[in-house]
A and B are shown apart, each in its own frame.
Chain A
Amino acid sequence: MAAKHPATELVPYLRGELGVDRRALVEQHLDQCAQCRESAESATAILSQLSVAVEAVPAPDWVAYRADLRRKLLTARPEPVDARGRLRPSMFRMPAFGWPSIAIGAAAAAMLAIVLVTHRGSGVQTPGVDQLELQTDIGSADVGLLANYRVVEHLDLLENYDVIEHLDELAPGDRQNHEASS
């Protein structure tokens, strides 16, 4: 038995790809090596099964396929060609996102940076008269709620969804009692 198995050459041998010399060497090895003969036989079987599998691929609806392809072609952007049908040198062709996109992105980033810096600077400004009035109103509303803290606490205890969902089912008298008790 030969020392080295020509494993990667078995399929090229079976397909008749090898030159005369290599072919003779592989044949000689196969005569002596049962393991490689078995590999060659199983490779032949698998290759023939694969060729059957290929034939069994279901064909699509070719009319729909071509219609779909035409639609995709319409949205494709053909590369520029010169008079001889050759593509122009692509060295300066823009990538898919394009230089204008980069410029716009850079401008947007610069604008964002300016807005952030300006906003941070305005944080120490004193509020105007209108803003002060609004803050006073909100503050007093909060104080009003805190003054009635017991009522708020009780309402919070009533936050039982079962009770809320079935409020409509209460008898009128019960509802009055319930309202009176709360």
Chain B
Amino acid sequence: MAAPRRRGGLIQVEFSDDELCRRIAERDANAFELMVDRHQARAYRLAFSILGNEADARDVSQEAFVRLYEAAGRFDGRARFSTWFYRILVNLCIDQQRRNRWWKRLLPLAGPGDNPDEPAFDPPSDEAGPESDAMLNQSVRRLRPALAQLSPQQRAAVLLQTQEGFTSREIAAVLKCSENTARVHVHRGIAQLRKLLRND
């Protein structure tokens, strides 16, 4: 349903994701642009968090939008649009990871954070700034390589929960598993992160 919204004296009509999806199925280019506007940042961020690099995150999130355009007619509105779309995105991320693993076995090129001999923490930043910011940056940088060590399902489950605020039931819908399995993925993912960060 379209919800009217007042902005700068003009009343703008804001379409729901379901309505936009229906219009995309009818090949409405404006609807597609609106949908990409609405979801591109979140989709890219989730892909980046799962895949860990910008190039793959860009390609995979774009591919998810292409799939959305191609298959919008299949969305029947029974599930939430975000669940449906993130299922496409997460599946693409997991496929991409499998491909990356295959390539990395053949071409073991070390990327940043891949080298186990590197110190697990970054040296103190020269930039002036609050100490708390530096500590946060440090913990964030320690988290990324730790996240990379989780299984694809665990990583997706943990990130869907923290990043998208998905409930266990929604994570289960994205990963096509039971709610209990989704909870196990989250629990094991966080336990593994805790273990890895303690060992640092």
Q: Are A85 and B73 in contact (CB under 8 A)?
A: yes
Q: Does A161 interact with chain B (Cβ within 8 Å)?
A: no
Contact of A12 among B26, B44, B183, B193 (CB under 8 A): B183
Q: Are A53 and B49 in contact (CB under 8 A)?
A: yes
Q: Are A53 and B143 in contact (CB under 8 A)?
A: yes
Contact of B70 among A17, A46, A59, A79 (CB under 8 A): A79
Contact of B40 among A8, A50, A65, A85 (CB under 8 A): A65
Number of interface residues of B (CB under 8 A): 48
- List which B151-199 residues lie within 8 A (CB) of chain A: 158-159, 161-163, 167-168, 180, 183-184, 186-187, 190-191, 193-194, 197
Q: Are B194 and A79 in contact (CB under 8 A)?
A: no
Q: Does B79 interact with chain A (Cβ within 8 Å)?
A: no
Number of interface residues of A (CB under 8 A): 39
Q: Are A78 and B36 in contact (CB under 8 A)?
A: no
Q: Is the interface of A mostly helix, strand, loop or mixed?
A: helix
Q: Are A43 and B63 in contact (CB under 8 A)?
A: no
Question: In the bound complex, what is the Cα–Cα distance between A130 and B78 (angstroms)?
Answer: 79
Q: Does A81 interact with chain B (Cβ within 8 Å)?
A: yes
Q: Are B162 and A47 in contact (CB under 8 A)?
A: yes
Assess A68 versus B58: contact at CB under 8 Å? Given A52-B136, A73-B66.
Answer: yes
Q: Which residues of B contact A79 (CB under 8 A)?
A: 70-71, 73
Contact of B41 among A47, A56, A59 (CB under 8 A): A59
Chain B residue with Cβ nearest A71 = B62
Q: Are A60 and B190 in contact (CB under 8 A)?
A: no
Q: Which residues of B contact A81 (CB under 8 A)?
A: 25-27, 73
Contact of B183 among A9, A42, A51, A76 (CB under 8 A): A9
- List which B1-48 residues lie within 8 A (CB) of chain A: 22-23, 25-27, 36, 40-41, 44-45, 48
Q: Are A10 and B187 in contact (CB under 8 A)?
A: yes
Question: In the bound complex, what is the Cα–Cα distance between A65 and B158 (angstroms)?
Answer: 26
Question: In the bound complex, what is the Cα–Cα distance between A72 and B168 (angstroms)?
Answer: 34
The smallest C-beta distance from B146 to any residue of chain A, in angstroms, reads 9
Q: Are A42 and B194 in contact (CB under 8 A)?
A: yes
- List which A62-108 residues lie within 8 A (CB) of chain B: 62, 65-66, 68-69, 72-73, 76-79, 81, 85-87
Question: In the bound complex, what is the Cα–Cα distance between A136 and B41 (angstroms)?
Answer: 77
Contact of A8 among B26, B139, B180, B193 (CB under 8 A): B180
Q: Which residues of B contact A15 (CB under 8 A)?
A: 161, 167
- List which A27-55 residues lie within 8 A (CB) of chain B: 39, 42-43, 46-47, 49-54
Q: Are A62 and B159 in contact (CB under 8 A)?
A: no
Q: Which residues of B contact A65 (CB under 8 A)?
A: 40, 44, 58, 62
Assess A52 versus B139: contact at CB under 8 Å? Given A11-B186, A62-B40, A76-B70.
Answer: yes
Chain B residue with Cβ nearest A10 = B187
Q: Which residues of A contact B158 (CB under 8 A)?
A: 50
Q: Does A138 interact with chain B (Cβ within 8 Å)?
A: no
Map CB proximity to A onto B119-159 as digits: 1 under 8 Å, 0 otherwise: 00000000000000000110110011001000000000011
Contact of A56 among B26, B71, B73, B137 (CB under 8 A): B137
Which residue numbers of A lie inside 8 Å of B, CB to CB? 7-12, 15, 17, 39, 42-43, 46-47, 49-54, 56-60, 62, 65-66, 68-69, 72-73, 76-79, 81, 85-87
Q: Which 5 A-B pairs have the closest CB atoms?
A: A87-B73, A85-B26, A85-B25, A50-B162, A8-B183
Q: A11-B186, A78-B70 are in contact. List 4 more A-B contacts (CB 8 A).
A: A49-B136, A53-B49, A66-B40, A78-B69
